[in-house]
């Protein structure tokens, strides 16, 4: 199944994707959210007859984040060897984990606002895992798949000055409003092999990142198992699995985003999202 949320910001309705159409399922479930998933929304929709429900053509409406207000956004840093090299970091012995304010999540094609006085706003294509079932202290990576709802595209926008140059945790450079476009839809785990997907990111139609998830240092199952050793994962939680080689930071000199730039972020089998960079306005 592929699930999405469509409509104006704050007014999105839950939907299922069928070819070039969305089938609205708001008569069956409240939303795609932690609460609805905990109440069994996936099973409700999967077992329902959708044939008489209203349909909306793709491209005719705004798309929201496929999960309404995920309670956590957890990120894996330094998880592709080429990216580790371009950042002059050491190869981590265990996954590098950090968090991003969940409020930074926006719709897949919404504007990315460059923060006031930003020096180094950068792009990062990432495969995102979306949790489907509570996970805590999993026994082994083999247990992870049963806790995963599916996969989507995440653009982990990052302000390098605040992330790296200023002391403290990376969270400062990762949590600005609009810094995490997600979508356009979640593809459930039974429909996709997350471990072999091309992923890419272009800026103004110039390809910057073009890699494959088979290059992940720590794979999907390892990541979910590992994070569950430190915190409880809930339905709708989002895990950004890391970005490959080609970020703006890695160019000599670095090339960062500015208002007017257009970012396109894609993953094979899921789709492509597009974000215009705009200046902050009070």
Q: Which residues bind Mg ion (CB under 5 A)?
A: 124, 156, 243
Looking at the Cβ atoms of 175 and 243, the one nearer to Mg ion is 243
Least distance to Mg ion from the beta carbon of 281, Å? 26
Looking at the Cβ atoms of 25 and 238, the one nearer to Mg ion is 238
Return the CA Rg of the chain. 18
User: Which residues have CB under 8 Å from 138's CB, separation 6+?
Assistant: 144, 147, 224, 225, 228, 229
Looking at the Cβ atoms of 68 and 241, the one nearer to Mg ion is 241
Helices (H) and strands (E) in the chain, counts: 6, 19
Least distance to Mg ion from the beta carbon of 124, Å? 4
Least distance to Mg ion from the beta carbon of 243, Å? 5
Least distance to Mg ion from the beta carbon of 123, Å? 10
Looking at the Cβ atoms of 3 and 157, the one nearer to Mg ion is 157
Least distance to Mg ion from the beta carbon of 186, Å? 19
Closest CA to 34 of 183, 237, 180, 230: 237
Looking at the Cβ atoms of 56 and 255, the one nearer to Mg ion is 255
Q: CA 42 → CA 5, 29, 92, distances in Å?
A: 14, 9, 36
Residue 165 is given by DSSP the state I
**Cα separation of 36 and 155, whole Å?**
25
Least distance to Mg ion from the beta carbon of 10, Å? 27
Hunting for tokens 């945790």 — which residue is that? 169
- Closest-CB residue for Mg ion? 156
Contact between 245 and 211 under an 8 Å Cβ cutoff? The reply is yes
Residue 90 is given by DSSP the state P
Looking at the Cβ atoms of 3 and 125, the one nearer to Mg ion is 125
């Amino acid at each position: 199944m592929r699930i999405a949320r469509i409509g104006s910001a704050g007014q999105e309705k839950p939907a299922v994707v069928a070819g070039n159409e969305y089938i609205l399922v708001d008569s069956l479930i409240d939303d795609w959210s932690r609460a609805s998933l905990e109440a069994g929304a996936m099973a409700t929709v999967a077992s329902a007859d959708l044939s008489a429900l209203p349909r909306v053509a793709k491209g005719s409406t705004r798309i929201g984040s496929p999960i309404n207000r995920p309670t956590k956004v957890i990120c894996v840093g330094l998880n592709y060897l080429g990216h580790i090299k371009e950042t002059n970091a050491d190869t981590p012995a265990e996954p590098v984990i950090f968090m991003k304010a969940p409020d930074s999540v926006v719709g897949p094609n919404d504007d990315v606002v460059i923060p006031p006085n930003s020096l180094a706003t950068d792009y990062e294509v990432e495969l995102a895992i979306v949790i489907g079932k509570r996970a805590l202290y999993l026994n082994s990576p083999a247990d992870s798949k049963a806790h995963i709802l599916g996969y989507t595209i995440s653009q982990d926008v990052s302000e390098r000055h605040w992330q790296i140059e200023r002391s403290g945790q990376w969270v400062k450079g990762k949590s600005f409003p609009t810094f995490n476009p997600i979508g356009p839809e979640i593809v459930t785990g039974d429909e996709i092999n997350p471990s072999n997907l091309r992923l890419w990111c272009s800026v103004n139609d110039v390809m910057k990142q073009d890699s494959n998830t088979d290059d992940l240092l720590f794979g999907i199952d390892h990541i979910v198992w590992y994070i569950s050793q430190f915190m409880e994962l809930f339905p709708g939680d989002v895990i950004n699995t890391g970005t490959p080689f080609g970020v703006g930071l890695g160019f000599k000199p670095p090339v960062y985003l500015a208002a007017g730039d257009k970012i396109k972020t894609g993953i094979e089998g899921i789709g492509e999202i597009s974000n215009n960079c705009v200046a902050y306005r009070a």
